[in-house]
């Protein structure tokens, strides 16, 4: 292989590493992922727990039978890196919502989360089927983005966010903004409240890390994203370019 081809190949490798690094693209869920997430929610041993959930939230002494709907909806939550303006994608995968129904007509949503070991497990049970309702309103190719601090839900597609539903007073559904505009908005809301900021160090409540859990009885899905190896990937790509450049330069100097 010629030095010029080697240099070109090294450049392509470096670009591929940058594009594939976490934060440079949205988390992708395969059909197998969604099936595994639904299977975790449809575990027979979980049905009794869901039934007790309906009993506790409904105030009834009778435990209803439970049906798990054959649907699953990925939910993405606002990325801290995006708020900080680090060029990250707007949302990170938080959980896969699997709707369930009780024999008395009530609905709930099971949150399946993927652990560091790649195994899908149930992280929370929440009353209602809000994720399902909103996901069915998404345009083709859009993802469901949640801004939990203000309980706002968006359709994310083609570099734009469109408001679907919001807990913010005065916010109109259908309002749309580019990602750049949205980043400025959330940076203004939370930029001074990120981890290690004076706001966070003083332990004040209501900052970026405050999660809105209006429907559930558990905590938010853990953030399992680990981007510590991204600098290594970038360095590896740059090293390949440097090596290729050295060989190209050496070849030109050979008499």
Q: Is 22 helix (H, G, I), strand (E, B) or coil?
A: coil
Q: ∠215-216-217 over CA atoms, to 5°?
A: 140
pLDDT for res 184: 94
Tell me whether residue 206 is exposed, middle or buried, using C-beta atoms within 10 angstroms of its C-beta: 0 to 12, 13 to 18, 19 or more. Answer: exposed
Contacts of 211 (CB under 8 A, 6+ apart): 148, 149, 219, 220
Contact residues for 86 (Cβ-Cβ < 8 A; gap 6+):
23
Cα dihedral across residues 134, 140, 146, 147: positive or negative: negative
At 150 the pLDDT is 87
Q: What confidence score (pLDDT) does residue 233 get?
A: 35
Alpha-carbon span 83 to 81, nearest angstrom: 5
Mean pLDDT by 10 residues, the chain (255 residues): 41 34 54 95 89 81 87 94 89 96 93 94 94 95 93 95 80 85 92 61 42 40 34 39 46 48
pLDDT at 170: 58
SS3 label, residue 28: coil
Beta strands 143-147; 73-78: pairing state: parallel
**Distance of alpha carbon 123 from alpha carbon 126, whole angstroms:** 10
Confirm if 129 and 109 have CB atoms less than 8 A apart: yes
Q: What angle do CA 76, 79, 84 make, to 5 degrees?
A: 160
Q: Which residue has the tokens 């699953």?
A: 72
């Amino acid at each position: 292989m010629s030095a010029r081809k080697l240099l070109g190949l090294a450049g392509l490798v470096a670009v591929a590493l940058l594009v594939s690094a976490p934060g440079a693209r949205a988390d992708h869920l395969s059909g197998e992922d969604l099936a595994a997430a639904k299977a975790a929610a449809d575990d027979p041993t979980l049905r009794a727990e869901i039934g007790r959930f309906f009993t506790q939230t409904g105030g009834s002494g009778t435990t209803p039978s439970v049906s798990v709907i054959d649907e699953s909806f990925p939910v993405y939550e606002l990325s801290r890196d995006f708020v900080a303006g680090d060029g990250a994608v707007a949302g990170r995968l938080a959980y896969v919502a699997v709707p369930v129904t009780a024999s008395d007509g009530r609905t709930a949503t099971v949150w399946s989360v993927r652990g560091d070991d790649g195994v899908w497990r149930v992280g929370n049970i929440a009353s209602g089927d809000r994720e399902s309702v909103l996901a069915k309103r998404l345009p083709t190719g859009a993802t469901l983005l949640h801004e939990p601090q203000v309980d706002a839900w968006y359709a994310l597609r083609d570099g734009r966010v469109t408001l679907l539903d919001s807990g913010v007073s005065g916010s109109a559904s259908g309002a749309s903004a580019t990602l750049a505009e949205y980043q400025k908005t959330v940076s203004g809301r939370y930029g001074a409240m990120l981890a290690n900021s004076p706001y966070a160090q003083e332990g004040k409540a209501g900052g970026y890390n405050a999660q809105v859990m209006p429907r559930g009885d558990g905590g938010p899905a853990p953030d399992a994203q680990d981007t510590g190896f991204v600098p290594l990937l970038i360095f590896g790509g740059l090293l390949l370019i440097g090596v290729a450049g050295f060989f190209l330069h050496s070849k030109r100097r050979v008499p």
